[in-house]
């Protein structure tokens, strides 16, 4: 997170939450990408196929803009030498070139999905915010999709369909892409079940790996195949491509059933407890990441961390040996050049949630285990338990 914290940028009063972070209300900057400030000292090098487009050079204030070629699109990149990651010395140009190097992979993760942009226009140490609504200067070759927030409000979000849209977003300081689990033709029915394994204090990435292996078994026993990736931090994500037949509510219920089964198999090591005070030193399967308007950083997204780590798609057979720190702005291009997109086949087959939804029904019928709490900013849902922190509820009694 930047020095000023993350905010959601929206052109209505207030802001919808995203990325599991519940950003606050809109800042004062309006809805379009902000202007460019002065650039930091950088390498001054050109990208492959890039050319300088005038302006002062590195060390003379704002560095000269360049033009990058992205699958037939010419994208102007201003202030290419601005330092975005001071600890590593990575520049805005390095970020754009990184996304060019993994272009087909990140486009596979974003294609036709309404996408929120996590922007750091001045780099990691500057102000940051979430851009939800498509900005007014969005290129006319980038489509949008109409999405509805839990509050009932709505917005049009950009839907990348080509690598040029990714580089265009990088021009305006986008580090992380947060796609919805839906596609542009049908924004009411998710086509991915996204399972977030979040290490709590007292646990670490190795604990998340152990939980992921057991999660894989739960999925396979219910006729599903998951695709793992690092979060870019301490956790793991497992994505399951599904047929777009179920509502957000049903997909969330399937995630809850999956988490509860994992709890039974790994008692004391995995939890679905929404309230932090009840989680303990366990891996939290964050079922609310499947709620409407909750998003997870895409595969290949750069994370706003000092080491410029990225969310790395993995094969199951490398899960035990891989570490989140292995994958960053410098190392992922080499991995991608050697292996390509290891999740390239993710969309080849889609699965059904019948098994997990039947498990949810059995949990409720046989054990009285129904719904679990939504995040506090969501409208109250019928059948949801009290949305009150347990310690406060005890004091009230």
pLDDT tens sequence across 164-183 = 999 999 999 999 999 999 99
Question: Which of 158, 113, 117 lies closest to 136 in space, CA to CA?
Answer: 158
pTM for this entry: 0.86
Q: Are strands 6-9 and 128-131 parallel, antiparallel or unpaired?
A: parallel
Q: Rounded to whole angstroms, how far apart are CA atoms 21 and 293?
A: 11
Every domain of the chain and the residues it spans: 6-180, 192-294+348-391
Exposure b/e, 173-203, CB count within 10 A at least 16 = b: bbbbbbbbbbbbeebebbbbbbbbbbbbeeb
Q: Is 305:297 a contact under the CB 8 Å cutoff?
A: no
pLDDT at 390: 80
Write out the two tokens for 243.
């047929």
Burial of 321 (0-12, 13-18, 19+ CB in 10 A): exposed
Alpha helices in the chain (DSSP H): 92-101, 103-110, 163-171, 205-221, 248-265, 276-279, 331-339, 354-367, 390-396
Q: Which residues pair with 22 in a beta bridge?
A: none
Are 372 and 286 spatial neighbours (Cβ–Cβ below 8 Å)?
Answer: no
Report the candidate in 17, 367, 347, 351 with the shortest Cα–Cα distance to residue 178: 17
Question: Angle at Cα 336 formed by Cα 312 and Cα 210, nearest 5°?
Answer: 30
User: What residues are paired with 328 via a beta bridge?
Assistant: 309
250-263 tens-digit pLDDT: 999 999 999 999 99
pLDDT of residue 396: 59
SS3 track for 159-213: CCCCHHHHHHHHHCCEEEEEECCCECCECCCCCEEEEEEEECCCCCHHHHHHHHH
Scored b (16 or more CB within 10 A) or e, 206-215 reads: ebbbbbbebb
CATH number of 192-294+348-391: 3.90.920.10
Under 8 Å CB-to-CB from 358, ≥6 apart: which residues? none
Angle at 258 between CA 177 and CA 346, to 5 degrees: 45
Tokens of 396: 């009230």
The CB density around residue 231, as the number of other CB atoms within 10 Å, is 22
Q: Residue 74, SS3?
A: strand
Q: How many angstroms separate the first and last alpha carbons of the chain?
A: 38
| Total residues belonging to the chain | 397
Contact 347, 313 (CB under 8 A): no
Q: Which two tokens stand for residue 255?
A: 């995630």
Would you state the pLDDT for residue 32?
Answer: 34
Residue numbers of the chain with a pLDDT score lower than 50:
1-50, 52-61
Return the SS3 of 87: coil
pLDDT at 48: 37
């Amino acid at each position: 997170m930047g020095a000023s914290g993350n905010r959601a940028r929206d052109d209505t009063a207030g802001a919808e939450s995203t990325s599991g972070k519940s950003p606050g209300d809109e800042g004062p900057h309006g809805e379009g990408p902000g202007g460019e400030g002065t650039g930091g000292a950088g390498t001054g090098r050109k990208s492959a196929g890039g050319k300088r487009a005038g302006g002062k050079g590195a060390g003379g204030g704002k560095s000269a803009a360049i033009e990058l070629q992205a699958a037939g699109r010419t994208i102007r990149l201003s202030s290419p030498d601005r330092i975005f990651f001071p600890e590593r010395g990575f520049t805005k140009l390095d970020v754009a070139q990184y996304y060019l190097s993994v272009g087909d992979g990140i486009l596979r993760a974003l294609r036709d999905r309404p996408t929120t942009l996590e922007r750091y226009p001045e780099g990691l140490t500057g102000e940051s915010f979430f851009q939800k609504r498509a900005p007014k200067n969005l290129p006319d070759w980038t489509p949008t999709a109409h999405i509805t927030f839990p509050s009932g409000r709505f917005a049009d979000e950009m839907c990348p369909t080509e690598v040029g849209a990714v580089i265009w977003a990088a021009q305006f300081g986008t580090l992380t892409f947060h796609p919805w689990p839906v596609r542009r033709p049908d924004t009411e029915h998710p086509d991915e079940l996204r399972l977030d394994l979040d290490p709590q204090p007292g646990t670490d990435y190795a604990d998340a790996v152990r939980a992921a292996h057991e999660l894989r078994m739960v999925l396979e026993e219910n006729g599903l195949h998951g695709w793992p990736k690092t979060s870019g931090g301490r956790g793991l994500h497992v994505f399951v491509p599904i047929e777009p037949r179920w509502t957000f509510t049903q997909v969330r219920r399937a995630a809850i059933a999956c988490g509860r089964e994992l709890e039974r198999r790994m008692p004391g090591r995995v939890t679905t407890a929404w309230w932090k005070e009840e989680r303990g030193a366990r891996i939290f399967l964050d079922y609310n990441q499947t709620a409407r308007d909750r998003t997870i950083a895409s595969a290949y997204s750069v994370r706003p961390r000092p080491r410029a780590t990225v969310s790395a798609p993995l094969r199951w057979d490398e899960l035990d040996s891989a570490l989140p720190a292995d994958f960053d702005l410098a190392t992922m291009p080499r991995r991608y050049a050697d292996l390509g997109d290891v999740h390239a086949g993710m969309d080849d087959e889609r699965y059904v949630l019948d098994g997990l939804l039947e498990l949810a029904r059995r949990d409720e019928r046989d054990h009285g285990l129904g719904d679990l709490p939504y995040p506090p900013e969501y409208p109250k849902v019928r059948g949801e338990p009290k949305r009150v922190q347990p310690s406060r509820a005890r004091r009230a009694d």
